[in-house]
Structure 1
Amino acid sequence: MKSSNPVLSRLGQAAERERSSGYGSYGPAGAGYGQPGYGQPYPTATDYPAAPPAVRPMTIDDVVVKTVTLLGITGISAIAAWNLIPVEMTGVAWIGAAMGGLVLGLIISFMRIANPALVIAYAIVEGVFVGMVSKAYQDIFGYQGIVLQAVVATFGVFFLMAALYRARVIRATPKFTRGLIAVMGGLFMVMLINFVLSMFGVSTGLRDNGPLGYIFSLVCIVVAALSFILDFNQIEEGVRMGLPQRYSWTAAFGILVGLIWLYLEILRLLSFLQSGGDD
């Protein structure tokens, strides 16, 4: 089964080689080796049992279990960070976790093999980051109830996209995939440039409570939501191609990244709405 995704195609070919690399042992159990007629029976078809697969292919259930596991780890890490890290250390922990998560995320994204330990470490670090951001918005900036609202909205959007994908209302066609990846790359470049400019005191208005900030946040939310379509499609293709079970960690990592991005964008937009309502 060929895929339009070259990375998945290479992984699928590697998985096929792994599954076909083993052969059954010669002769029936305990028969040993030797020429026929010298205490050894002539081999038959049953004397060459098919070797079991070297690895078990991943399933949708594998991805679901890994995703729930990573979400649980992220949630526990966020709650622990919220309650254990002092308020005066919020900024330091926020920046440190953000940088650590970025480094781990890049390593995982560009690795050719799935590494569960790195993915779990990413979930822990991102949990600290999410916990600090959430604590800042609710306890420091004073947006009461905003965290629960953002969590509910995030999972609501996720399950809506899952339903739309399952009903094939939105399809991950090659044109859709190329366009969305280009838009995501452009957005991240804009956010990076905006961050660098903000360090020098230059405000572009993209992250401010104003019309431009509202529009940019909405665009980010829509793009983050649509990114799940790419995740669902890659999971389906990976299952069809028989990728090894360990790649379910990589698939779950992709969903976790999308959920965190969507949550942060919704959190920001809700803070704009609360600020507007208070004025």
Structure 2
Amino acid sequence: MAKLGFNDPAFQTSTRPPQAPQSYAAQTYPGGPAAGQQSPGLVPPPAANLENLYSAPSADAVDTGRMTIEDTIHKTLATFAVLLVAAAAGWFVTTMNPGMGLGIAVVGAIAGFVLGLVNSFKRMPGAGLVLAYSAAQGVFVGAFSLWMEMAFPGIVLQATLATLAVVGVTLALFASGKVRTSPRMTKIVLIASLGYLVFSLVNVGFMVFGQNIPFGNGTFGDLAWGARSIEIMGMPLGVIIGILAVLMAAYMLVMDFEFVQNGARNGAPRKLGWKASFGIVATVIWIYVEILRIIAILRGND
């Protein structure tokens, strides 16, 4: 019985008489010898053609249709640009009309949450979905930042600088190869993040309906998921929870960087760059909001 694959013509021996080797000297090139003229051997293309080949730009992500680090950076910058513009709009509207600002902030938060779920479960979300998520979250972040700034002047600048520091340090450690993910740690962080998401949603539900989370104290700290009335080793519980959340977000940022690196290395479809940019922007927003909370709790205790 024939073995699988060996009936393919590629594995069979040809019974035809051997063919004479093709003479490359018979081929002509622009600027080379004319047909019928003798040539000592293979005639290369003219030097002008070779110069054009070497001077031509290398193929980019558009030409190859593959994911590259540079193309993903461009997509991420575009996503951040939309986020900042929407945040400025949310800040401005809230300044002019706090009631309207509250309304659009709630709408932005809900729309951002729904679009975030869609982008997370969709294998290759397009530019429209990712930029729409960034715009919705930007409106929420802008309005929320203004409320925090009115309660604690200077807090937005502090949180922004701290966020840049966390992202910069994480990127530097990843680029140096000192920080990498592991399958076991990834499972732990994903489970913990899911639990924290459920906790945050329940906490928001309590606040919306005018109730206090059991360990809250009924002050502005509840708006920031505070928990200032309970301390562990002299540190408010809300601060401890916030620090753990920032550490989880930093780990997920490393996961985002690895996603970009592996996608570019393995020649993933170019469209996956939008999913990578979504992951990075969503994680940075999470870090910023958590740092806002931590600073608000600490300054609220002063």
Q: TM-score range by the shorter chain?
A: 0.7 to 0.9
The one-letter amino acid of 1:205's match is: F
Q: Tell me, in whole angstroms, the C-alpha distance in 2 between the residues paired with 1:232 and 1:265.
A: 20
Aligned residue number for residue 183 of structure 1: 192
Report matched runs for 1:130-209 at 5 Å. 130-139=141-150, 141=151, 143-198=152-207, 199=209, 201-205=211-215, 207-208=225-226
**1:55 Cα deviation after fit:** 4.7
Q: Residues 216-236 of structure 1, C-alpha deviation per residue, up to 9 Å, x if partnerless?
A: 111111111111111111111
CA RMSD of aligned residues (A): 1.9
**When the two structures are aligned, how many residues end up with a matched partner?**
224
**1:197 Cα deviation after fit:** 3.9
* Residue 85 (structure 2) pairs with residue 76 (structure 1): yes
* Aligned partner (choices 255, 262, 271) of residue 280 of structure 2: 255
Q: Tell me, in whole angstroms, the C-alpha distance in 2 between the residues paired with 1:115 and 1:134.
A: 28
* Residue 251 (structure 2) pairs with residue 226 (structure 1): yes
Task: Name the SS for the 1:244 alignment partner.
Answer: coil
Q: Residues 100-131 of structure 1, C-alpha deviation per residue, up to 9 Å, x if partnerless?
A: 10111111111122310111111111110100
RCO (CA 8 Å, sep 6+): is it higher in 1 or 2?
1
* Aligned partner (choices 108, 118, 121) of residue 107 of structure 1: 118
**1:270 Cα deviation after fit:** 1.0
8 A contact 1:55–1:244 mirrored in 2: no
Aligned residue number for residue 109 of structure 2: 98
Q: Please list every run of at least 4 consecutive aligned residues from structure 1 whose deviation after the TM superposition is greater than 4 angstroms.
A: 52-55
* TM-score under structure 2 length normalisation: 0.70
Q: Tell me, in whole angstroms, the C-alpha distance in 1 between the residues paired with 2:63 and 2:69.
A: 20
8 A contact 2:93–2:100 mirrored in 1: no
Largest Rg, 1 or 2: 2
The one-letter amino acid of 2:102's match is: G
Aligned residue number for residue 127 of structure 2: 116
Q: Tell me, in whole angstroms, the C-alpha distance in 1 between the residues paired with 2:153 and 2:146.
A: 10
Pair 145,192 (structure 1): closer, same or farther in 2 beyond 3 Å: same
Task: Name the SS for the 1:194 alignment partner.
Answer: helix
